[in-house]
Amino acid sequence: MLGLLKARFMFTSSNDENEDYASFLIKHGDNVKDVAFKVNDLNSTLQCILKNGGYLLSDAKTLSDKFGSVEIATVATAQSDMRHTLIEAHNYKGIFLPGFSAYKNNFLAEKLERIPVATLDHVVENFPVGGMDDVTKWYHDTLNLQRFWSIDENVCHSEYSAMKSILLTNPSHSIQVAIAEPVPNTKRGRSQIQVNDQLN
């Protein structure tokens, strides 16, 4: 896990025994598999997700160490191979999650250029033509993300491509998820290229 201020990135790789990660890499290549969210009430959030067509990949469990405890579960939807880990951690004082500790005197890290990432502004999910509205509704119904901004092909286009996008956010704007889909055109746009490359 790499972290700087509020930004956290966990890098993983598959092995012969991890069919879940191996199949994901075969289908998508290097990609984002999990976007984690902090939640205020894990149980009620899980109930809402299950009610709206999501499903559990891992049951809720408690992780603990000397810095405290967190409740954690992982969910997925039928619309995407990406998953969401939900974390309830009101009083946890560790650097990330139980079991993680700071790694000091890393000679490799010392040679790398420092990347000044303070926080994540937004996450983008690309879907095939016609998939954006169902995904937008799912995020609204399950995580109460509200439609904050949108663009269509009249705004986001070039000579070769066009796309539509809806930006969803929570009340504090600490979470922003952009849902995008291509507009059918004579040439594939960036969103369509990414979707096709992931789905094929």
Which residue ranges form the domains of the chain, and what is each CATH number?
A: 2-111 (3.10.180.10), 123-199 (3.10.180.10)
Q: How confident is the model at residue 196 (pLDDT cuts 50, 70, 90)?
A: low
* Alpha carbons 146 and 177: distance in angstroms, whole number: 10
> Is 50 exceeded by the pLDDT of residue 182?
yes
Residue 8 or 38, more confident: 38
Q: How confident is the model at residue 126 (pLDDT cuts 50, 70, 90)?
A: confident
What lies within 8 Å, CB to CB, of 138 at 6+ separation is 52, 53, 54, 77, 79
* Alpha carbons 21 and 5: distance in angstroms, whole number: 28
Residue 103 or 187, more confident: 103
> Is 70 exceeded by the pLDDT of residue 1?
yes
Q: Is 28 in contact with 198 (CB distance < 8 Å)?
A: yes
pTM of the model: 0.78
pLDDT, residue 157, reads 62
Kindly report the average pLDDT of the chain as a whole number. Answer: 83
Radius of gyration of the chain from Cα atoms?
A: 19
Instruction: Give the mean pLDDT of 147-174.
Output: 81
Lowest mean pLDDT across 42-46, 76-80, 131-135: 76-80
Amino acid at 80: S
Q: Which of 90, 93, 39 is nearest to 65 (CA)?
A: 93
> Is 90 exceeded by the pLDDT of residue 19?
no
Instruction: Give the mean pLDDT of 68-81.
Output: 91
> Is 70 exceeded by the pLDDT of residue 155?
no
CB atoms within 10 A of CB 122: 12
Residue 13 or 191, more confident: 13
Structure token pair of residue 156: 């986001």
pLDDT, residue 168, reads 94
* Alpha carbons 48 and 23: distance in angstroms, whole number: 28
